Amino acid sequence: MLRSENLRYLCPTAMNDNNVHISLTCIDFLVPQADSLKAKRRVIKSLKDRLRARLNASVAEIGYQEEWQRATIGITMISNKRQHLQRGHSAINRLFEEKTDIQVLNIHMEWL
């Protein structure tokens, strides 16, 4: 994991100008109709592909990998403008609100 002191070493100019913004969003949700891991992973793959295509974000399943109907995914984005990431977070919320085949339990967003 990259720590901020390592990032300063790798990107000293960017860190001195305070124009590197990183967001992490974790979403915990249910896939009620999933009757197997394969069915759940199909839904998750669709979500991950959409998020990557729309937001150019890094997305990974980070929790409940072996449970049929529950999942947690992590989404990270990096930009030189915080407003860009805030718009991305709004787009993430809209995407999950539009999905009728999942039930969101928790969305947590933080700045790194």
pTM of the model: 0.80
**Cβ(68)–Cβ(37) under 8 Å?**
yes
Q: Which CATH number fits domain 22-111: 3.30.1490.20, 3.30.70.1120, 3.20.20.370, 3.90.550.10?
A: 3.30.70.1120
Tokens of 7: 């990032």
* Short-list 94, 90, 95, 96, CA closest to 109: 90
Instruction: Output phi, psi for 30, to 5 deg.
Output: -110, 150
Give the distance from CA 5 to its chain's centroid. Answer: 23
pLDDT digits (tens, 9 = 90+) for 20-73: 999 999 999 999 999 999 999 999 999 999 999 999 999 999 999 999 999 999
